[in-house]
Amino acid sequence: MNQPTWIPQRAGGEDDYASDAPLTNVGALSAQLVGRAITMRTVISEVYTSPSLASIQTAYSLVSSLQQKFVAKIRVEPGLFEPLPLITKVMFLFCLMN
């Protein structure tokens, strides 16, 4: 019930998600609630995120729920990715997706 209904396809199949799992449904809902709460207090123009899949999905959920006149930009910062031993593989996959 908490698993996402859709995940992007990767060249390595399901094994590629072992070190870079997608965001759960509860995680997406939580990000939407945070986005709504942020809107009540301030206006944001940018959201910085790690290149991990769950982080990007969190940023997207947050930004899409902001009730602003303009859309905040999502900025992917490779230096925010953890755990660092996995960064080579994940960064390679991230670059392939773009």
Q: Using one digit for the tens of pLDDT, what is the confidence trace for 42-51? A: 999 999 999 9
Residue 12: how many other CB atoms lie within 10 Å: 11
Rounded Cα gap, residues 30 and 24, in angstroms: 10
Report which secondary-structure segment, H or E, holds 25.
helix 25-41
Distances (CA, A) of 73 to 4, 47, 63, 92: 24, 6, 8, 23
Low-confidence ranges of the chain (pLDDT < 50): none
Rounded to two decimals, the pTM is 0.77
